[in-house]
Structure 1
């Protein structure tokens, strides 16, 4: 028994010494990990602080001119991220920090010509100026084409003629080529089933998503069209279920969206305008859209005459009830979503009018309110001339 006690004692002591050794190692490992974590946090924090304070140009030697669009309603954080994604600036966080530090609150929407050789201060100064309503054609390189938001097929055909080896006529022919359309419809049935047999001027009007396309490898005019239709399908893919819930066809959604695109500017106004159109359809009223009449007349003039609104055309939505034959232009996703999720329908607005000088859109429920407001706006604008 004594021998056993003597034998157990040293073992227990050695065991205690071993446990202590492991504890020391464990403490050392924990301390090391914490230390490394602190160093990493300091490094990350230092990098972040450096990025936030780096207001210098991305590339002083750059010769690039990048056309950059600031969307309506975009905040500084969104703009900064888009500038970084476009290759204009190094760090989105630096742009946001500069704007905050300088209390900049008047960044404008529109198109701007920017360059990586510009400092953030210069870029912010540029964005405080009025943005262009449309991109500049001259900024496109040969082999690239731009379909603008709210542009129609005939207008875009001129871009094709300028930027590619194909004529406007040859490209427009693809929009009504039945064999080609049937092939596309099989590939994109959710998108095109309601468009193929519609009595429209161009079957694919409205199905050419507004974007810039690289068509340097296009061997035929149809190669351009295919790329544009594929883009439209990609953009609409997440919303086909919503369209079915509305119990409207894609053709009807895009038709209303094309009107909304040209009748209002801000996302909110577009949502309310979409509600007005849907309310008028429910009440069996004509849509009374100038956009539709201008398409019928192939004109871009600002003011229409009474005679213009009486033109005999299925596209004249002053005379014809319903949606009309089909889209009048290529609407943006903002306008499409406005139709899918209209605003203030419960207010029963049936009329709207825009002040062409300020861009503000007013909504009314009755024709009497609408006429009175119209007279008031005309008087105000005449007095400010």
Structure 2
């Protein structure tokens, strides 16, 4: 009886153990199944997310987003900048994509990028320092132009009416806003009492790409101011050492831009202007007279030289109140690094060739030899 009871209990225990094993197996099966299903779903979600992050943020976007990549930026910081600007969907994915493609040599600088750019296009732009996209149109602003002349080009190329452009660049509130956005180049000097137009000479001559069919007047102006800032920044240390301002530099350079006919002439004419200013002599440059008159003339008359205007360098010594045109890099560099001469005079013949003289007597002789009719 006892032996039978003992066998029965052992048998019942074996059944309970089998049942427990089955339950455990079922639990394990369910858990594994859940994990497998979850893994499949997670894998698909991750794959979908990564695939999406490798695509342009907005393939149809034409908005140009200004991006500044500081000197010394690494791939991680560049990736974060692009994500913050909304140009990539995920900074880490861009970072690993660049790493897997052995891309790391990126250039610091200012970029105009769009959400329509692919990761390869963004990488190519950051490597070459250029926007790796075909612009909708380009607009060329030559050297030596005034705001009035630039306005005509903007109307023709960008479709912004000349009056609208001029109203914007001379609006008091606009200028105040731009001064806040570009404090390094736009100072109180541009709104001094005798300055005719605040942004005269500050819209850098260059060929500009635009990636939208109808950019706003603000976009056009800030694009050119960005270029001015980029081209002037390398000279900040020089200006500080000489206790000179950006306004002084652009004003001086604008005179060279309107007077010179070659790069070497710019440097020599700069030396003439420096020499005259050192001696307290008026610069006596005809382009300032024409700017004072507000008109183009093939020949400046003696009566024109007497016009009372702050810009007339025949009447007033030193530089005029502000630039008389936009100056290119060559003229800016000529101000920074002029020739060293003893010249105080120069003149140009009908072919644009310049002749330089140390004395007024030499100048008169050159005038007699090369300027007919005088």
Does the pair score TM above 0.5? yes
Deviations 1:266-298 (A, max 9, x none): 222111101111111121111101111111122
- Distance, in Å, in 1 between the alignment partners of 2:162 and 2:228 is 21
Deviations 1:181-209 (A, max 9, x none): 22222222221115432232210111100
- Distance, in Å, in 2 between the alignment partners of 1:251 and 1:217 is 33
- For the Cα contact (< 8 Å) 1:148–1:210, is it kept in 2? yes
Q: Which residue of 1 aligns with 2:245?
A: 249
- Distance, in Å, in 2 between the alignment partners of 1:177 and 1:143 is 27
* Deviation (angstroms), 1:240: 1.0
- Distance, in Å, in 1 between the alignment partners of 2:347 and 2:138 is 37
Q: 1:240 aligns with which of 236, 240, 245?
A: 236
- Distance, in Å, in 2 between the alignment partners of 1:378 and 1:362 is 11
SS of the residue aligned with 2:178? helix
SS of the residue aligned with 1:183? helix
Q: Which residue of 1 aligns with 2:291?
A: 295
- Distance, in Å, in 1 between the alignment partners of 2:168 and 2:242 is 30
- Distance, in Å, in 2 between the alignment partners of 1:372 and 1:231 is 43
> Is 1:174–2:160 an aligned residue pair?
no
* TM alignment of 1:178-197, pairs within 5 A: 178-197=172-191
RMSD (Å) for aligned C-alpha atoms: 2.1
Deviations 1:175-232 (A, max 9, x none): 2223222222222222111543223221011110001223435553122111111110
SS of the residue aligned with 2:356? strand
Deviations 1:229-259 (A, max 9, x none): 1110011111111122232221111111111
Q: 1:151 aligns with which of 125, 140, 145?
A: 145
- Structure 1 unaligned blocks of 5 or more: 1-140
Q: Which residue of 2 aligns with 1:269?
A: 265
> Is 1:222–2:222 an aligned residue pair?
no
* Deviation (angstroms), 1:356: 2.3
> Is 1:278–2:274 an aligned residue pair?
yes
Q: TM-score, normalised by structure 2?
A: 0.60
Q: TM-score, normalised by structure 1?
A: 0.58
Structure 2 CA distance for partners of 1:213 and 1:321, relative to 1, 3 Å = same
| Range 161-170 or range 148-157, more displaced | 161-170
* TM alignment of 1:1-385, pairs within 5 A: 143-198=137-192, 199-215=194-210, 216=212, 219-344=215-340, 347-357=341-351, 359-378=352-371
- Distance, in Å, in 2 between the alignment partners of 1:267 and 1:246 is 23
- For the Cα contact (< 8 Å) 2:190–2:247, is it kept in 1? no
- Distance, in Å, in 2 between the alignment partners of 1:322 and 1:194 is 19
SS of the residue aligned with 2:170? coil
- Structure 2 unaligned blocks of 5 or more: 1-134
- Distance, in Å, in 2 between the alignment partners of 1:286 and 1:163 is 39
| Range 190-199 or range 270-279, more displaced | 190-199
- Distance, in Å, in 1 between the alignment partners of 2:266 and 2:240 is 21
- Distance, in Å, in 1 between the alignment partners of 2:301 and 2:333 is 32
- For the Cα contact (< 8 Å) 1:181–1:196, is it kept in 2? no
- Distance, in Å, in 2 between the alignment partners of 1:252 and 1:297 is 22
